[in-house]
């Protein structure tokens, strides 16, 4: 099965400029449709046991060779800083990792603006405690294949003394692959130079591989600093995981309070994101939903904001326009190609229900393991949190925050440009509450072997 | 004022009197004159940190750097700055810079660079490296050992020479450069409207 450009047959190939057979599949392979999978969080008590675990797992970790074909389920592995320490990585090597990564996401809460309801003190265990050492993720487009891959993984870690399973979280299996607020997601992704596939229409010029994979030149023309030795850093990347609880009741109540009819509510839901729930972008379908457009990877990302300079289709504060402003004229100088992320998010829990309106619904477990990858993932998420999510200055929106993932106080506002005057909606709440997070390192396959063979 | 607070300000006044005990008589008198005013105003909110280094008041941050000048670089930079005559097109585009100043110290052997800007110090350094690299390199290559704005260790290089302020006053700590520009536009539009109906 091809993962890209389905309606137009296979993806258009282009030159490969990175070592696909050494890079983990998840770095380049899109989340399949439909999708099923599991995240397993593991702890390493004894270095030798941790290495044994990696040795056992290594044959089952998929490379990105032919990443655009996804016949089987695949498994990915990522390791936290405490994980690297407990595996016995030598001190000088540990010191070569970025300071933010070494501190970990919980310790960076000030820089990330993770305060109040998002404060690490309120996170679900074991997030933020330093116990999560290894994350295994299994992705599949088929239930049976998922179960088989999960069984294979389990055979490697089950009962291995000196290691322990902390949590197991299944994800996916959502009707229509919708996310917890009822939207189709993971449409907009960066095109990566040298990945072997032509960009999809509208994806923009391919971004230099070094922004996403360590060891290659980035947008400034030079490689980023990389963990040492080279075999450990090269072809690896950093991963951020942020576990969100979606307050579906609050979100639905907000739509009810600000939309009289079903149609008004759906339009408001589309304005908050920039796309209808079907995925159809407001730039191309401003007046009403177009589910066929939303489904079509050849068309559903094929737009810029050149025709929408006043934000009358996609408001400047819409989640999608904030997270990737494309050609929007920004009030602050920024290189939009430096703040892109690869997203591999996974939805867990009960599917979206438009009739869920109670505070009880806010707490029933459903949400997103938001997962993003990049060679400077820690810098990127801190930048996004400070500048583009919990801030409106870059779009001349003052203190307005991202309507989907912003941390709102009582005065939360969302501006919708309209003729003759803009509409301002008050009473935005924090619709997605942070309940956990980790910074992880996703090693190359040769780095995985290097780690497994460490001694001492 | 609660009893607790008045005790605190009384203690602070005592501490100041001790510190100034050796100061000349007119200074001590000045201090006594100023103390009642300081006590009624209470203490200002503490300065926040502007990320990795430097201080912040509300949305505005400060940066002061003193760095050794590369041989022969003084003349280059001074002439360049004179030609620009304070017209920094690049800073205008950046949209976060309130002001910038360049001062040569110690017989032109050191450069003092000071600026007030919005947000966090290192958020935009990598953007400068891809959007305005030439401008950055032309100006800052005056610093001895400047590795180039594209160098991946550039942030560490800059931090070495930054000195956080001990004290710093900002009149409008919540007004960013962008917001100021917006308010100017709004004010102008409002005046035009009032002119029409008035
Ligand atoms: C936790 C709840 C979240 C929800 C419900 C959500 C929802 C969505 C939806 C519906 C879209 C439009 C479809 C698509 O292109 O994928 C989108 C796009 C996007 N989101 Fe989120 N998102 C969430 C969290 C985040 C976070 C935490 C970030 C980044 C820190 C983020 C970054 C992005 C980006 C980069 C895009 C693509 C924009 C583009 O390329 O045009 N999202 N999101």
pLDDT tens profile B87-120:
787 788 899 999 999 999 999 999 999 999 998 8
Q: Is A70 in the pocket of ligand 1 (CB under 6 A)?
A: no
Nearest residue (by CA) to ligand 1, atom 12, is A185
**Total number of residues shown for chain B:** 198
* Cα distance between residue A107 and residue A203, in whole Å: 34
Helix, strand, or coil (residue A210) = helix
Which of A47, A36, A76, A15 is CA-nearest to residue A342? Answer: A76
> How far is B189 from B174, CA to CA, in rounded Å?
22
Q: Are strands B60-68 and B97-105 parallel, antiparallel or unpaired?
A: unpaired
d(CA B154, CA B147): 7
Buried b (16+ CB within 10 A) or exposed e, B90-108: bbeebbbbbeeeeebeeee
| CB of A139 shorter than 6 A to ligand 1 | no
Q: DSSP letter string over A411-445?
A: T-EEEE--SSS-EEEE-----EEEEEEEEEEE--H
A47-57 and A143-157 helices, crossing angle to 10°: 150
Q: How far is the alpha carbon of B169 from chain A, nearest alpha carbon, in Å?
A: 22
Q: What is the pLDDT of residues A132-184, one digit of tens each?
A: 999 999 999 999 999 999 999 999 999 999 999 999 999 998 899 999 999 99
For residue B38, the model assigns a pLDDT of: 82
Mean pLDDT, range A191-215, rounded to an integer: 96
Spell out the domain ranges in chain B.
3-39, 49-161
Residue B132 at interface with chain A, using a CB cutoff of 8 Å: yes
Note whether A411 contacts B: Cβ–Cβ < 8 A: no
**Has residue A118 got a pLDDT over 80?**
yes
In this structure, are residues A401 and A412 in contact, taking their beta carbons and an 8 Å threshold?
yes
Chain B touched by A224 (CB under 8 Å): yes
Model confidence at A9, pLDDT cuts 50, 70, 90, reads low
Tell whether ligand 1 has an atom less than 6 A from the beta carbon of residue A385.
no
> How is residue A16 written in tokens?
């490969």
Query: Taking CB atoms and an 8 Å limit, are B124 and A333 in contact across chains?
Result: yes
Query: At a CB cut-off of 8 Å and minimum separation 6, what does A411 contact?
Result: A399, A426
* Min distance A312 CA to chain B CA atoms (Å): 19
Cβ–Cβ under 8 Å, residues A343 and A371: yes
Cβ atoms of A44 and A83 within 8 Å: the answer is: yes
Q: Is A394 on the interface with B (CB under 8 A)?
A: yes
pLDDT at A310 over 90: yes
Q: Cα–Cα distance between A84 and A456 in angstroms, integer?
A: 14
Distance between Cα B187 and ligand 1 center (Å): 36
CA separation for the pair A222, A226 (Å, rounded): 12
| Mean pLDDT over each residue of chain B, to the nearest integer | 89
Which among B125, B133, B150, B178 is the top mutation candidate for probing chain A, defined by the most A β-carbons within 10 Å of its own β-carbon? Answer: B178
Place of tokens 């100021």: B180
Q: What is the arithmetic mean of pLDDT over A24-42?
A: 96
ipTM of the complex in this document: 0.87
| Nearest protein CA to atom 38 of ligand 1, as residue | A320
pLDDT of residue A362: 95
Question: A186 C-alpha to center of ligand 1: Å?
Answer: 7
What's CA B196's distance to the chain center, in Å? 41
Residue of A nearest to B48 (CA): A110
Is 90 exceeded by the pLDDT of residue B44? no
Task: Record the tokens describing residue A218, joined without a space.
Answer: 């980035």
Q: What is the pLDDT of residue A6?
A: 44
Alpha carbon of B123: minimum distance to chain A alpha carbons (Å): 6
Report pLDDT for A7.
Answer: 41
Ligand 1 atom nearest A340 alpha carbon: 35
**Is the model's pLDDT at A400 over the cut of 60?**
yes
Contact B131 A337 (CB under 8 A): no
Question: Is residue A39 within 8 angstroms of chain B, CB to CB?
Answer: no
Residue nearest to atom 39 of ligand 1 (CA): A188
CA B86 to chain centre: 17
A331 in reach of chain B (CB within 8 A): yes
Q: Which residue from B minimizes the CA distance to A391?
A: B119
Nearest to A388 by CA among A324, A308, A338: A324
Under 8 Å between Cβ of A271 and A416: yes
Nearest to A222 among B124, B150, B179 (CB): B150
**CB-ligand 1 contact for A214 (6 Å cutoff):** no
DSSP state of A350: S
Q: Residue A1 in 3-state DSSP?
A: coil
**Which residue in B95, B150, B179 is closest to A221 by CB distance?**
B150
Q: Is the pLDDT of residue B175 over 80?
A: yes
Average pLDDT over residues A41-59: 97
Confirm or reject: Cβ of A320 under 6 Å from ligand 1: yes
pLDDT value, residue B142: 95
The per-residue pLDDT for A266 is: 98
Residue of A nearest to B153 (CA): A225
Q: Are A296 and A279 in contact (CB under 8 A)?
A: no
How far is it, in rounded angstroms, from Cα A52 to Cα A70?
Answer: 28
Which CATH number does the domain B49-161 belong to among 2.60.40.1120, 3.30.70.100, 1.20.120.1200, 3.40.50.300?
3.30.70.100
Q: Tell me, what's the pLDDT at A3?
A: 54
Over chain A, what is the mean pLDDT?
A: 95
Query: What is the mean predicted confidence (pLDDT) over A330-338?
Result: 94
pLDDT tier at B86, thresholds 50, 70, 90: confident
Instruction: DSSP letter for B130, please.
Output: H
Question: How far is A335 from B155, CA to CA, in rounded Å?
Answer: 17
Residues across chain A: 456
For B45-80, write each residue's pLDDT tens digit. 677 888 778 889 999 999 999 999 998 899 999 999
Q: In the prediction, which pLDDT does A430 show?
A: 97
- The single residue listed with the structure tokens 């360590």 is A214
Token digits for B33? 């004159």
Model confidence over B123-152: pLDDT tens digits? Answer: 888 899 999 999 899 999 999 999 999 998
HEC string for A378-408: HHHHHHHHHHHHCCCHHHCCCCCCCCCCCCC
Residue B55 CA to residue B49 CA, distance in Å, equals 5
pLDDT at A404 over 50: yes
Mean pLDDT value across residues B36-48:
74
End-to-end CA distance of chain A: 44
Query: In percent, how much of chain A has pLDDT > 70?
Result: 98
- Both tokens assigned to A19: 């070592």
Pocket test for ligand 1, best of A108, A177, A188, A294 (most atoms within 8 A of CB): A188
Confidence of residue A31 (pLDDT cuts 50, 70, 90): very high
Position A2 scores a pLDDT of 46
Q: How far apart are CA B75 and CA A218, in angstroms?
A: 34
- Contact at 8 Å (CB) between A427 and A420? no
Tokens of A165: 């399973």
Q: What residues 74-93 of chain B have any CB closer than 8 A to a CB of chain A?
A: 93
The bridge status of strand B97-105 relative to strand B110-118 is: antiparallel
Question: What pLDDT score does B42 carry?
Answer: 62
Q: Which residue of chain B is at minimal alpha-carbon distance from A330?
A: B95
Are A223 and B152 inside 8 Å of each other by CB? yes
DSSP A182: S
DSSP annotation of A74 reads: E
CA A422 to chain centre: 32
């Amino acid at each position: 099965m091809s993962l890209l450009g389905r309606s137009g047959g296979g993806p258009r190939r282009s030159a490969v400029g990175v070592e696909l057979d050494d890079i983990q599949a998840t770095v380049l392979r899109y989340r399949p449709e439909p999708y099923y999978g599991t995240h397993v969080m593991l702890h390493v008590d004894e270095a030798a046991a941790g290495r044994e675990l990696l040795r056992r797992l290594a044959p089952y970790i998929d490379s990105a060779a032919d990443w655009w074909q996804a016949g089987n389920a695949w498994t990915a592995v990522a390791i936290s800083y405490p994980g690297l320490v407990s595996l016995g990585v030598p001190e000088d090597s540990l010191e070569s990792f970025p300071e933010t990564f070494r501190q970990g996401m919980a310790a960076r809460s000030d820089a990330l603006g993770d305060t109040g309801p998002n404060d690490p003190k309120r996170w679900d265990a074991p997030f933020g405690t330093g116990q999560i050492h290894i994350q295994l993720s299994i992705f599949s487009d088929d239930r049976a294949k998922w179960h088989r891959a999960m069984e294979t993984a389990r055979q490697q870690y089950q009962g291995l003394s000196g290691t322990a399973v902390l949590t197991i979280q299944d994800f996916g299996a959502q009707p229509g692959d919708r996310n917890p607020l009822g939207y189709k997601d993971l449409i907009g992704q960066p095109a990566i130079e040298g990945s072997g596939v032509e960009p999809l229409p509208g994806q923009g010029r391919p971004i230099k591989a070094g922004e996403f994979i360590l060891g290659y030149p980035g947008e400034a023309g030079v490689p980023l600093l990389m963990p040492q030795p080279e075999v450990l850093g090269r072809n690896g990347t950093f991963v951020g995981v942020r576990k969100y609880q979606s307050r579906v009741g609050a979100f639905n109540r907000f739509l009810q309070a600000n939309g009289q009819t079903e149609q008004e509510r759906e339009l408001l839901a589309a304005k908050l994101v920039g796309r209808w729930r079907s995925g159809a972008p407001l730039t191309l379908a401003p007046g009403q939903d177009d589910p066929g457009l939303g489904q079509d990877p050849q068309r559903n990302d094929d737009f810029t904001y050149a025709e929408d300079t006043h934000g009358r289709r996609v408001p400047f504060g819409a989640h999608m326009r904030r997270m990737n402003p494309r050609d929007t004229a920004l009030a602050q100088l920024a290189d939009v190609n430096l703040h892109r992320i690869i997203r591999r998010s996974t939805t867990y829990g009960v599917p979206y229900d438009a009739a869920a309106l109670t505070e009880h619904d806010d707490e029933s477990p459903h949400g997103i393991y938001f997962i993003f990858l990049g060679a400077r993932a820690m810098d990127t998420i801190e930048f996004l949190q400070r500048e583009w999510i919990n801030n409106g200055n870059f779009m001349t929106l003052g203190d307005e925050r991202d309507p989907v993932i912003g941390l709102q106080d009582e005065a939360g506002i969302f501006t919708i440009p309209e003729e003759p005057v803009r509409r301002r909606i008050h009473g935005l709440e924090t619709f997605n509450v942070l309940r956990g997070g980790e910074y992880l390192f996703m090693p190359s396959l040769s780095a995985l072997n290097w780690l497994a063979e460490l001694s001492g | 004022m609660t009893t607790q607070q008045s005790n605190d300000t009384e203690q602070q006044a005592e501490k100041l009197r001790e510190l100034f005990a050796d100061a000349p008589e007119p200074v001590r008198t000045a201090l006594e004159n100023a103390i009642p005013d300081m006590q009624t105003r209470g203490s200002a909110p503490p300065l926040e940190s502007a990320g990795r280094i430097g201080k912040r008041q509300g949305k505005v941050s400060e940066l002061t750097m003193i760095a050794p000048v590369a041989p022969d670089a003084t003349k280059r930079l001074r002439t360049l700055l004179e030609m620009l005559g304070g017209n920094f097109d690049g800073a205008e585009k950046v949209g976060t810079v309130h002001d910038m100043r360049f001062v040569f110290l110690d017989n032109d052997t050191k450069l003092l660079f000071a600026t007030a800007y919005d947000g966090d110090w290192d958020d935009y350094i990598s953007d400068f490296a891809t959007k305005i690299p030439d401008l950055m390199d032309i100006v800052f290559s005056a610093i001895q050992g400047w590795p180039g704005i594209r160098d991946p260790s550039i942030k560490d290089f800059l931090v070495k020479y930054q000195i956080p302020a001990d004290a710093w006053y900002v009149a409008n700590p919540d007004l960013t450069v962008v917001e100021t520009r917006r308010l100017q536009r709004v004010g102008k539009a409002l005046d035009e409207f009032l002119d029409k109906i008035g």
